[in-house]
Amino acid sequence: MDAGKREGTFKPNLRQEGCEREKKKDERGGLGEMKAAAKTKTPRKPGQKNGSSNNLKDPVGVYCRLRPLSVPDQECCVKVINTTTVQVHPPDGYRIFRNGEYKEVQYSFKEVFNVGGTQKHVFDVVAKPLVDDLIHGKNGLLFTYGVTGSGKTYTMTGSPGDGGLLPRCLDMIFNSIGSLQAKRYVFKLDDKNGVEVQCDVDALLERQKREVFQTPKTPSSNRRQIDPEIADMINVQNNCKAEEVDEDNVYSVFVSYIEIYNNYIYDLLDEGPFDAIKPKLPQSKILREDQNHNMYVAGCTEVEVKSTEEAFEVFWRGQKKRRIANTQLNRESSRSHSVFLIKLAQAPLDASGDNVLQDRELITFSQLSLVDLAGSERTNRTKAEGNRLREAGNINQSLMTLRTCIEALRENQTYGTNKMVPYRDSKLTHLFKNYFDGEGKVRMIVCVNPKAEDYDESLQVLRFAELTQEVEVARPAEKPVCGLIPGRRFKNQAFREELSRQLEIRGGPIDGDRERSITEVLLQNFPPMSSCELLDIHDDQTLPRLIEVLEKRHRIRQMLLEEFTKNVHSVKGMLQELDSSIVSKENYAQVKMAERDKFIAAQKTEIERLEKKAKTLEYKIEILEKTTTIYEEEKRNLQQELESKSQKLQRQVSDKRRLEARLQGMVTETTMKWEKECERRVAAKQLEMQNKLWVKDEKLKQLKAIVTEPKGSKPERPSREKDREKPLQRSLSPPPVPVGCL
Ligand code: ADP
Ligand code: MG
């Protein structure tokens, strides 16, 4: 690379992983420390968001704008409730009843712009903070979303005499950096989304080269005649400026304008000739990732612009090209997304305040993307057919992908899931992936036409827009400071102005005329030496003439000397005054530095406090971990004990079961024995009773015989009866019962 050139790359996110930054900080000091901070962007991996040093996040800012009805007594289905809420109600004949109730739905946004809301108000609320960020080196994305005819283009571009957000953003940018702009080609973009600084000589050579080769197409700020149509659009009369613009930086603005149609990217600033009779299909561009993992359109035209008029002229050129291409190629213009990119390069001046520091690390390159999205309605609305219907389907697909991405991001952030966000599914989401995944403000204006015919679609749009607000995007990192004393540009300029003023007061040589009037007049009147040759002894004229000339020369010399002394005194006095003013400015700078030091010290104390807190927490965690280990050990022991006891218990249970079974057997056996015994005894008792009955019968028979038989004969007891009584006596004694069984 040329020694005079230094290369820088698009650094929308100067965020660093905390530890890496700390490491580099230790390695370098002073300016080096700052350089380290700005050097690279650590690629962010999915799910690593919270590892960033910048943990602050902002939700996507969603605003709602209602356009007036085109016919005054048209049926309306959306009304503004207050500055943040709109209410949608179904039109007649479309009423949804739930439990007999009329269903109205309310949606809330950051702010709602009612029908009368002016372009200026919308700009002040929505876009101004983004431009402010752009000028302070941070990125922003702003898109308009809504169905066709809802006012997206009106909001973004505006109408003649009532410029929209785009011309107003340009106006604010150039109002803020107007006099601080670098000369053309000092900043030079490369084809890898990077930027380099050229030295003044190289920039001058390039200016001359380009002026020779391609004047007609490049709009020039020198051109006095502005197209009245453009003049009408940019006549915003806002005079809006960013605050605290770094005056020790030089700035350059680059714009590009692309269109995404049918998932193809087209460069609207491409200078290729367009044949209106036999149109050639435009070449689509591809998306690439730069070394900082930022997406960019490869080979896209980027034009350096120096004024609002020039920038808007470029936009208008792209707009015209878009219109012609749409007509020639029979496209539905409401089905394409248009993206106007404003890139701002800035680099600090050196210590003298005269030249740009040629250090690529110190270049800040920020970007504001203004996106006018395609109409969000369903395909059948435009009654497209064939190819157009297919193309329209793709457009819808990219909006669908946008919705899916937003939904996935929302889910991941709300529920802590790690769902893949399908950025790559469409060119639109892929291009803006960095905004959602990285840092920068994202804002969306949802445009609504309140007419009843749009009810269904407006409902979808509002629902999606309301959900989008739940997505959070990391806050952009602060721009690095270059470490040189602030106020360099104007200190030198002020010095030169003060020098001229003081010289003027003292009657000194302040400008060419004055200088000539005193010093030059004296020198012009400085008489030439006359001849001092004495040829004649009686020559009494030459010497007196010589004396006179010498006296005159001496007088003039004296006057010159006096003038010189006077000038020396005045310059001396002036230098002293300047010295004192510089001292006072330095004092001021020192006070500022002291304040900054104090702030840094306070931050350091805070960091120390947080570190201490972290250490205490780490210590506590350690103790808790130890306690956990002890408890786990105890738990293991108790579990072992429990296991052995349960085994023992099981053994006891099985023993008991066995015993029970044995006892059961014995009881059954004994019961059976006793039953048999009882049966036997009952039988014996029955026999005994029968015997007794028989004996009694016999006795009665004998008695009867005695009574009936003649007296003198003695009755005899039969021997059978005696024999029977003996075993009966034995059988009545119970059998022996085993003692163990009882
Ligand atoms: P879109 O880009 O969403 O398709 P346009 O911006 O082209 O819609 O708007 C359609 C018409 O409505 C245009 O004629 C435009 O001038 C008008 N319009 C849109 N919004 C407003 C508004 N807020 N105030 C006045 N007119 C508007
Ligand atoms: Mg439009």
> Cα separation of 59 and 109, whole Å?
11
pLDDT at position 505 is: 65
Distance in Å, CA 448 to ligand 1 centroid: 10
Q: Could you tell me which residues are beta bridge partners of residue 113?
A: 65
pLDDT at 477 > cutoff 80: no
- Pick the range with the lowest mean pLDDT from 182-196, 476-490, 545-559: 476-490
pLDDT at 502: 64
Give the integer Cα–Cα distance in Å for 198 and 5: 5
Fold of 119-140+151-273+282-377+385-439: Kinesin (3.40.850)
- Closest residue (by CA) to atom 17 of ligand 1? 151
CB 449 near ligand 1, within 6 Å: no
Q: Which two tokens stand for residue 27?
A: 């390695």
Segment 696-718 mean pLDDT: 75
Ligand nearest to the CA of 116: 1
pLDDT in tens, 244-290: 899 999 999 999 999 998 899 999 998 766 566 666 677 899 999 98
At residue 730, does pLDDT exceed 70? no
Three-class SS state of 490: helix
Which residue from 63, 64, 67 has its CB within 8 A of the most atoms of ligand 1, so it is best to mutate? 67
Q: How far is the CA of 159 from the centre of ligand 1 (A)?
A: 9
Tokens representing residue 178 in the block? 């107007």
Give whole-number Cα distances, 685 to 215, 344, 719, 731, 733, in Å: 147, 129, 22, 9, 11
Q: Which ligand is nearest to the CA of 322?
A: 2
Q: Answer whether 150 contacts ligand 1 (Cβ < 6 A).
A: yes
Percent over 90 (pLDDT), the chain: 43
Q: Is 150 annotated as a binding residue?
A: yes
Instruction: Decide: 159 in ligand 1 pocket, CB within 6 A.
Output: yes
Structure-model confidence comparison of residues 103 and 483, the more confident one: 103
254 lines ligand 1 (CB under 6 A): no
What confidence score (pLDDT) does residue 37 get?
32
Residue 369 CB coordination number (10 Å): 22
Q: Cβ(149) to ligand 1 under 6 A?
A: yes
Provide mean pLDDT across the span 374-397. 61
Tokens of 705: 């015989």
Distance from C-alpha of 305 to C-alpha of 317, rounded to nearest angstrom = 14
Q: What does the pLDDT look like over 18-46, one tens digit per residue?
A: 333 333 333 333 333 333 333 323 323 33
pLDDT over 50 at 144, yes or no: yes
φ, ψ for residue 422, nearest 5 deg: -80, 55
Confidence bin at 519 (pLDDT 50/70/90) = low
**For the residues 459-476, what does the mean pLDDT come to?**
89
Distance CA 115, CA 106 (A): 17
Q: How far is the CA of 454 from the centre of ligand 1 (A)?
A: 14
> Which atom of ligand 1 lies nearest, measured to the CA of 154?
6
Statement: residue 10 has pLDDT above 90: no
Domain locations in the chain? 1-23+58-117+441-478, 119-140+151-273+282-377+385-439, 514-533+540-562
Question: And the tokens for 356?
Answer: 């740009």
- How far away, in angstroms, is 395 Cα from ligand 1 center? 21
Say whether 487 counts as a known binding-site residue: no
Residue 361 or residue 719, greater confidence: 361
Which ligand ends up closest to the CA of 67? 1
User: Which ligand 1 atom minimizes the distance to the CA of 65?
Assistant: 23
Question: Quick one: which atom of ligand 1 is closest to the CA of 372?
Answer: 2
Task: State the average pLDDT over residues 532-539.
Answer: 73
Ligand 2 (single-atom ion) residues, CB below 5 Å:
152-153
Higher pLDDT, 717 or 323: 323
Calculate how far, in angstroms, residue 450's C-alpha sits from the geometric centre of ligand 1. 12
Question: Measured from the CB, is residue 447 less than 6 Å from ligand 1?
Answer: yes
State residue 365's pLDDT score. 92
pLDDT of 582: 82
Question: What single DSSP character describes residue 672?
Answer: H
**DSSP per position, 570-630:** HHHHHHHHHHHHHHHHHHHHHHHHHHHHHHHHHHHHHHHHHHHHHHHHHHHHHHHHHHHHH
96-120 tens-digit pLDDT: 554 555 678 999 999 999 998 999 9
What local confidence, expressed as pLDDT, does residue 542 receive? 80
The residue whose CA has the least distance to atom 5 of ligand 1 is 151
Closest Cα to atom 23 of ligand 1: 67
Asked if residue 145 has its Cβ within 6 Å of ligand 1, the reply is no
Average of per-residue pLDDT across 86-94: 85
pLDDT class of 553 with cuts at 50, 70, 90: confident
Distance 273 CA to ligand 1 centre (A): 32
- The percent of residues in the chain predicted with pLDDT above 70, rounded, is 74
| 208 within ligand 1 shell (Cβ under 6 A) | no
Mean pLDDT of all residues in 234-253: 88
Ligand 1 center from residue 155 Cα (angstroms): 7
What per-residue confidence (pLDDT) applies to 32?
Answer: 36
The answer on pLDDT for 16 being more than 50 is no
Q: Is the CB of 336 under 6 A from ligand 1?
A: no
Q: Is the CB of 113 under 6 A from ligand 1?
A: no
Ligand 1, atom 1, lies closest to the CA of 149
Q: So what's the pLDDT on residue 736? A: 47
At 278-335, the pLDDT tens digits run 666 778 999 999 888 889 999 999 999 999 999 999 999 999 988 887 777 767 777 8
Residue 386 — φ and ψ, nearest 5°? 55, -130
Residue 680: Cβ within 10 Å count = 13
| Average confidence score pLDDT of the chain | 80
Q: Can you give the pLDDT at residue 298?
A: 95
Q: Which ligand has the minimum distance to the alpha carbon of residue 68?
A: 1
Residue 496 or 151, more confident: 151
Residue 542 among known ligand-binding residues: no
Between 499 and 541, residue with greater pLDDT:
541
The enclosing H or E element of 6 equals strand 6-9
Residue 738 has pLDDT above 90, yes or no: no
Query: Hey, which of 64, 143, 154 would you mutate to test ligand 1's pocket, going by the most ligand atoms within 8 Å of its Cβ?
Result: 154
Q: How many helices (H) and strands (E) does the chain have?
A: 18, 24
Q: What residue's CA is closest to ligand 1, atom 19?
A: 151
Q: What is the pLDDT of residues 375-384, one digit of tens each?
A: 988 755 545 5
pLDDT per position as a tens digit, 47-60: 333 334 456 788 99
- How far, in Å, is the centroid of ligand 1 from the Cα of 12? 33
Q: Which residues pair with 187 in a beta bridge?
A: 197
Beta strands in 198-302 (DSSP E): 249-261, 264-267, 284-285, 287-289, 295-297
User: Per the confidence metrics, is the pTM higher than 0.85?
Assistant: no
Checking if the pLDDT of 389 tops 80, the result is no
Q: Is it the case that residue 515 has pLDDT exceeding 70?
A: no
Answer with the residue of higher pLDDT: 98 or 340: 340
- Residue 556's pLDDT band (cuts 50, 70, 90): confident
Instruction: Report how far ligand 1's centroid is from the alpha carbon of 469 (Å).
Output: 24
Identify the nearest ligand to the CA of 375 by its number.
Answer: 1
Residue 500 is labelled as binding a ligand: no
Pick 180 or 504 by higher pLDDT.
Answer: 180
Q: What's the gap in Å between 373 CA and the centre of ligand 2?
A: 8
Q: Is the CB of 160 under 6 A from ligand 1?
A: no
User: pLDDT of 596-609, one tens digit each?
Assistant: 899 999 999 999 99
Q: What residue type is assigned to position 216 of the chain? A: P
User: Looking at residue 39, what is its pLDDT?
Assistant: 32
Q: With bands split at pLDDT 50, 70 and 90, how would you rate the model's confidence at 230?
A: confident
